[in-house]
Amino acid sequence: MSRVLVVEDDPGIARAVRMNLAARQYDVDVAPDGATALELAATHKPDLVILDLGLPDMDGAEVIHRLREWSPVPVLVLSARDSQPDKVEALDAGADDYLTKPFGMGELLARVRAALRRAQPADDEPVITTEAFTLDLSAKRVTRDGTSVRLTPTEWHLLEVLAKSPGKLVDRQHLLTEVWGPSYAGQTNYLRVYIAQLRRKLEPDPSHPRHLLTEAGMGYRFET
């Protein structure tokens, strides 16, 4: 049974989300503010966090930053903020998905299921070694020169999707749908930003990448 932490200061929304999750056999904790959320995350170790950004004591992005200092738990943002800068800020902070209010409960539950599926480790996943870094898909870890490389959950998921199809072109729409969800299928700027971030962290010469390659107008390719 998966445990979900709902961080929401609107009692009506918090109650509706909690009741729908509990009806589907999830264990649910509810926090009305960021400080309580961080305390519950540390003590109850949730499998997923559903997070509002407009909290009374701190911004939701700050909650994500603090979580990412010690926890890889998937974070699904549920917010009335619908501007692209707000979405980019939350995803850059380490959120895994973003759903705007008002929302359909069916879509929220589907995204919860998808986030929990992605977070499940697979014991038989390979270790991929390149000239520059080593990628352990089971442990969800990247090392470079023997040192762990810190990736955000979004960076990791993007790298994972590419690495599971080595040498093959992965088109932009597939990457966007897999990493961010169907509603982001046209947001190709997300890919440019995150591929650039991965290159800075992993490529010896980010301006001349050898492992994370762009196929102009089509997509990206991972080469070992």
Average confidence score pLDDT of the chain: 89
Tell me the C-alpha distance between 134 and 147, whole Å: 10
Burial class (CB in 10 A: 0-12, 13-18, 19+), 146: exposed
Neighbour count for residue 91 (Cβ, 10 Å): 26
Tokens 């926090």 map to which residue? Answer: 31
What is the reported pLDDT for 26?
95
pTM of the model: 0.61
- Give domain limits for the chain: 3-119, 127-222
What is the reported pLDDT for 36?
95
Q: Which residue has the higher pLDDT, 176 or 76?
A: 76
What is the reported pLDDT for 195?
94
Average pLDDT of the residues in 177-195: 81
Tell me the C-alpha distance between 211 and 192, whole Å: 15
Nearest to 17 by CA among 93, 104, 144: 104
The percent of residues in the chain predicted with pLDDT above 70, rounded, is: 97
Tell me the C-alpha distance between 57 and 143, whole Å: 36
Span 121-163, pLDDT tens digits:
555 568 899 989 999 887 788 999 888 898 887 888 899 989 9
Span 1-32, pLDDT tens digits:
799 999 999 999 999 999 999 999 999 999 99
Class of domain 3-119: alpha beta
What is the reported pLDDT for 124?
57
What is the reported pLDDT for 114?
87
Span 89-124, pLDDT tens digits:
888 888 889 999 999 999 999 999 988 887 775 555
Options 1.20.1440.230, 1.10.10.10, 2.30.40.10, 3.30.70.20; CATH for 127-222 is 1.10.10.10
Residue 208 has pLDDT above 80, yes or no: yes
